[in-house]
């Protein structure tokens, strides 16, 4: 039986519509409390990003969990990976994140972490969904949960982030511009970096509830690129709204994406004998990463898009490093989930250890030209069985002559078919991607 409510990354949508409304979230809190709070003395943590609707959903979750007899601990604004860490270290039964990651302020979402700081297993999510079908009841007054505020949540997480690199490292003399996307890292990332000695300036660190991810952050790094050059900084770091991913900028203002960040960390770990297992990427990871790792003698495996798949593969292969081009990087030897601040620190540690600038560190990997075309679905298309599509893909692969890749996939979050072509020649890659997109459009028109 499949999920009815939980998607690949919790429950997400437009505020006030469908499931992202106070009534549903109240019931979700109650249902989660019934399943997760079966042991006496259970507690659940609640954290959120900076979007204005977070207050409303925090209150609704609080009421639902308390009605189910579960104590809750409120963390306030906190990066998603910080909530995962605190769930683990405070020995809570679960952590709840109120965030829609890199989406605009008018979206929000709810996702859960288990007591181990990882995503909930499918059977627990299905049990919560089953509970949602029941009539909501309230435990007796003597059994109601209580609500507490965790006053030292920020300080605890800052210290944890700093502990992921050697204590001897001091970033004095390093000038860093941070873009906090007006999101959940605004009051944490600047402290982490400055406490480690760096000279820090910030943009996107003044959230007002509505400006999260608004033309800023890892999905809009243009302001950061300009700021790094204008300030003569050594590098820039852009987080997304909930702080689980990052994009970096070198001293010349050029972007360093997730694939390049993975390469830098992988090479450093490999050279010190601390890179266990293969590096895990996705079907979207650039061929350049695969080839650069291969030249180091490092294995590389691909999964479908999504951090859940990456984490599962890392666990199966006992690997320690994986991620996506978007900057969602998972250092399993440091923490349990994608963490923008911790990933940034691993790269800064490489700069410190090698004495090289970011631009130099990333130069060991050459990215292949990659063209991505998104086609909005106007009618259902089975991309795996359509004869015209299979023929078009085969012809494109033939033209690439083993020196590139073609990928067609349905988006997991939007009604889109994504066409990706990668190869040595930029002109050829763009031409083939547009040709394939045209065939997809024709197939939809005939459907």
Q: Catalytic residue numbers?
A: 101
The DSSP string of 22-56 is: HHHHHHHHHHHHHHHT-STT-EEEEEE-S-TTHHH
Cα angle 280, 285, 286 (rounded to 5 degrees) comes to: 130
Only one residue has tokens 């608004």, namely 214
206 C-beta neighbours (distance < 10 Å), count: 11
3-state secondary structure of 110: strand
Range list of H helices, 204-273: 222-231, 258-271
> How is residue 288 written in tokens?
């350049």
- What span, in angstroms and rounded, lies between the C-alpha atoms of 312 and 319? 10
- In this structure, what are the phi and psi dihedrals at residue 431, rounded to the nearest 5 degrees? -60, -50
Are 168 and 197 in contact by the 8 Å Cβ rule? The answer is no
3-state secondary structure of 248: strand
- What span, in angstroms and rounded, lies between the C-alpha atoms of 391 and 12? 36
Strands 107-114 and 94-98: antiparallel
Buried b (16+ CB within 10 A) or exposed e, 167-192: eeeebeebbbbbbbbbbbbbbbbbbb
From the list 183, 212, 221, the residue with the least C-alpha distance to 106 is 212
From the list 421, 414, 433, 431, the residue with the least C-alpha distance to 286 is 421
- What span, in angstroms and rounded, lies between the C-alpha atoms of 184 and 12? 17
Residue 408 CB-half CA count within 13 A? 27
Range list of H helices, 321-425: 340-354, 358-362, 387-400
Sign of CA dihedral 250, 256, 262, 267: negative
440 C-beta neighbours (distance < 10 Å), count: 22
362 C-beta neighbours (distance < 10 Å), count: 24
3-state secondary structure of 75: strand
Determine the length of the chain: 447
């Amino acid at each position: 039986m499949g999920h009815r409510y939980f998607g690949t990354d919790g429950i997400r949508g437009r505020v006030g519509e469908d499931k992202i409304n106070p009534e549903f979230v109240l019931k979700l809190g109650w249902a989660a409390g019934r399943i997760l709070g079966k042991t006496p003395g259970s507690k659940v943590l609640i954290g959120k990003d900076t979007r204005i609707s977070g207050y409303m959903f925090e209150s609704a979750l609080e009421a639902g969990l308390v009605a189910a007899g579960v104590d809750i601990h409120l963390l306030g604004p906190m990066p998603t990976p910080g909530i995962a860490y605190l769930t683990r270290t405070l020995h809570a039964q679960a952590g709840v994140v109120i965030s829609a990651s890199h989406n605009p302020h008018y979206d929000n979402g709810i996702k859960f972490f288990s007591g181990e700081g990882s995503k909930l297993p499918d059977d627990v999510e299905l049990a919560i969904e089953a509970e949602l079908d029941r009539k909501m009841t309230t435990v007796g007054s003597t059994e109601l949960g209580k609500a507490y505020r965790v006053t030292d949540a920020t300080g605890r997480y800052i210290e944890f982030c700093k502990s992921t690199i050697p204590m001897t490292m001091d970033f004095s003399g390093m000038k860093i511009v941070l873009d906090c996307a007006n999101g959940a890292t605004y009051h944490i990332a600047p402290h982490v970096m400055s406490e480690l000695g760096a000279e820090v300036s910030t943009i996107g660190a003044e959230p007002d509830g509505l400006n999260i991810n608004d033309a800023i952050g890892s999905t809009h790094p243009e302001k950061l690129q300009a700021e790094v050059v204008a300030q003569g900084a050594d590098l820039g770091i852009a987080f997304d709204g909930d702080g689980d991913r990052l994009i970096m900028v070198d001293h010349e203002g050029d972007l360093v994406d997730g694939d390049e960040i993975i390469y830098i960390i992988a090479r450093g770990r490999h050279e010190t004998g601390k890179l266990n297992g293969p590096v895990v990427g996705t079907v979207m990871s650039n061929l350049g990463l695969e080839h650069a790792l291969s030249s180091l003698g490092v294995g590389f495996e691909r999964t479908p898009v999504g951090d859940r798949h990456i984490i599962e593969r890392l666990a199966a292969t006992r690997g320690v490093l994986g991620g996506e081009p978007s900057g969602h990087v998972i250092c399993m030897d440091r923490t349990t989930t994608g963490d923008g601040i911790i990933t940034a620190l691993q790269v800064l540690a490489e700069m410190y250890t090698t004495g090289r600038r970011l631009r130099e560190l990333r130069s060991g990997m050459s990215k292949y030209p990659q063209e991505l075309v998104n086609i909005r679905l106007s009618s259902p298309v089975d991309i795996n069985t359509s004869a015209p599509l299979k023929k078009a893909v085969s012809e494109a692969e033939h033209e690439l002559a083993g020196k590139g890749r073609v990928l067609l996939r349905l988006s997991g979050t939007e009604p889109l078919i994504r066409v990706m072509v990668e190869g040595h020649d930029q002109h050829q890659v763009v031409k083939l991607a547009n040709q394939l997109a045209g065939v997809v459009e024709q197939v939809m028109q005939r459907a």
